[in-house]
Amino acid sequence: MDNALQKDRASVSSMFNNIASKYDLLNHLLSLGIDKIWRRKLLRFVKANNPEKTLDLACGTGDMTIALYKSGIEVVGADIAEKMLEIARVKSIKIHNGNTPPPVYILASADSIPFPDNSFDSVTITFGIRNFENRKSSLQEIIRVLKNGGYLSILEFALPKNRLWRGLFNFYFLNILPLIGRLISKDMKAYTYLPESVKSFPQYCDLCKEIIEEGFSEVKYTSLTGGVAVLYTARKAVK
């Protein structure tokens, strides 16, 4: 089922470039603002491990990148959609946090990260890993650029395990969300792709297994808002 979706770099970057101008509005509107709470939970995990430098993959318009910077962390944001990065750069001009270097944004894919081995203390991915064309090679690249003992933290959508909550969520996710998304973004594809990409994506223990297979340890997940979203965390072994 996952293979039926177009996840090649050209298709995904084109889709997100098309909705870039409405992306922030729709993110907060369609999640009823709860996405901000989810990001704060990820940020607390990252800060608890005191990283000096973090790579924010699939950074989009920079919400997580900017939150990391505001907390005093040097951060690089990477994405494959140039128009999303343009918005992130504009948003970042308005902020300043003492001596912390401002965020740097680069056009790059998760399966080909243009940094040397052991470059980062932390890597974050916020609602982007399900769009990766090749998760295996991306996880291999992430563990390569992480320093020994560095942490990976991922926020991603999921389908709730509770049958009643899952039914209510699916009705909204499969019917209302695509309709609102199409009306506001004028894109007929992106907000149909979103629920389909979530349905076909490995969740909970299945994604943890993939992360473990690429050499990570201390792999855990925490359900958020009844399982609508999940925070996955992992660590590169200390050698």
pLDDT the model gives residue 166 = 87
Give the domain ranges of the chain: 2-236
Q: CA triplet 96, 54, 124: central angle to 5 degrees?
A: 110
For residue 111, the 8-state DSSP code is T
Q: Cα separation of 43 and 38, whole Å?
A: 9
pLDDT the model gives residue 4 = 52
pLDDT in tens, 167-207: 988 888 888 888 888 888 887 777 888 888 888 999 999 99
What is the rounded average pLDDT for all residues in the chain? 91
pLDDT the model gives residue 3 = 43
For residue 205, the 8-state DSSP code is H
Task: Tell me which of 7-11, 54-58, 141-145 is least confident.
Answer: 7-11
DSSP helix/strand/coil, 62: coil
pLDDT the model gives residue 159 = 92
pLDDT the model gives residue 195 = 83
C-alpha pair distances (Å), 52 with each of 12, 60, 123: 31, 22, 11
pLDDT in tens, 10-53: 889 998 889 888 888 887 777 878 999 999 999 999 999 999 99
Q: What is the mean pLDDT of residues 218-228?
A: 95
220 bridge partner residues:
233
DSSP helix/strand/coil, 75: strand
Q: Number of helices and strands (H, E) in the chain? A: 9, 7
The strand pair at 146-157 and 229-236 is best described as antiparallel
| Reduced 3-state DSSP string for 134-182 | CHHHHHHHHHHHEEEEEEEEEEEECCCCCHHHHHHHHHHHHHHHHHHHH
Specify the CATH number for 2-236; select among 3.30.470.30, 3.40.50.300, 3.40.50.150, 3.20.20.70. Answer: 3.40.50.150
**Percent of the chain whose predicted confidence (pLDDT) is above 70:** 98
